[in-house]
Structure 1
Amino acid sequence: MIRHNLLSLWVLLALSLAGAVAHAADPPGEGDRAAIQAVIDSQIAAFRRDDGEAAFSYAAPAIRHMFGTVDNFMAMVRGGYRPVYRPQAYHFGAVTVVDGQIVQKVHIVGPDGGAVTAFYIMEQQPDGSWRIAGCSLGAPEERSA
């Protein structure tokens, strides 16, 4: 029950961020794309080694506030985001702007061999760094990762 509630909160927050995230007119430049991908790479690496503290550190402030603790965050990820938590393989797709939000597509082969596309909503912080403000999983856009 708690796991389902946490997942629901995560999805609701990701969907409601349209009003909270600064609106961007253009996709980020090459330097920002590289920084965005480095954040996602680093979080996935932290998941793979079960380093919840590090994984949680890549979440945007609103996500950190919503989950409150590393344990709550990791329970949500383990329960609802297995492909992100334990990918067999992944590669980055396009960075797009959707409703003013920067979205990084990541094509993933999950632990069960199934393909999904993860849509990471990225938020630039006042210091210029990037953090993950939400993630949703969808049907695969490409067959291999």
Structure 2
Amino acid sequence: MEITDRDFVTIRSVIERQLEAFQKDDAQGAFAFASPGIQEQFCTPENFMQMVRKHYPAVYRPRSVFFEKITIIQGNITQPVLLLSPHGVPLRALYFMEKQPDDTWRINGCFLVSVKAEII
């Protein structure tokens, strides 16, 4: 699948808008950026928000956000985002993106991985 410049901008915007919704505790808004499969899995915006609060505090309330270069991981278009957790722990969020039939982009999962700091 070819990713256009417009796709890059749109994907970043979708993630930024979901992060903004989390900051405002806007469950409905955040849920709207999830793929149909994620929405089906959690059934309601409230269930989704509760899961994010409990298991993804770095996504729910990041201290800082830095977008890296989009890549493909196991066939999934993936937007890596460096986050600083509320407790100051650096993490990389791998956002798996899914293009919808109407050509919009939705978040189809997020996987957090540790970022090891190097002292030079």
2:89 partner amino acid: G
TM-score by length of 2: 0.94
Deviation at 1:142, TM superposition (A): 7.2
Structure 1: runs of 5+ lacking an equivalent: 1-23
Q: Are residues 141 and 37 of structure 1, via their aligned partners in 2, closer, same or farther at CA, if it must alter by over 3 Å?
A: farther
* 1:1-145 mapped onto 2 (5 Å cutoff): 24=1, 26=2, 28-140=3-115
Please give the alpha-carbon distance, in whole angstroms, between the structure 2 residues aligned to 1:93 and 1:142: 17
Deviation at 1:139, TM superposition (A): 1.3
CA RMSD of aligned residues (A): 1.4
Q: Which structure 1 residue ranges, 4+ long, deviate > 3 Å from structure 2?
A: none
Given that residues 117 and 141 in structure 1 are in contact (C-alpha distance below 8 angstroms), is that contact kept between their aligned partners in structure 2? no
Please give the alpha-carbon distance, in whole angstroms, between the structure 1 residues aligned to 2:117 and 2:32: 29
TM-score by length of 1: 0.78
Please give the alpha-carbon distance, in whole angstroms, between the structure 1 residues aligned to 2:117 and 2:77: 20
Larger helix fraction of residues:
1
Aligned to 1:10: none
**What per-residue deviation string (whole Å, max 9, x for no partner) do you get for residues 20-41 of structure 1?**
xxxx3x4x12110100000000
Please give the alpha-carbon distance, in whole angstroms, between the structure 2 residues aligned to 1:141 and 1:128: 36
Relative contact order, higher structure (CA 8 A, sep 6+): 1
> Identity of paired residues, percent?
41
1:76 partner amino acid: M
Given that residues 36 and 130 in structure 1 are in contact (C-alpha distance below 8 angstroms), is that contact kept between their aligned partners in structure 2? yes
Please give the alpha-carbon distance, in whole angstroms, between the structure 1 residues aligned to 2:85 and 2:117: 13
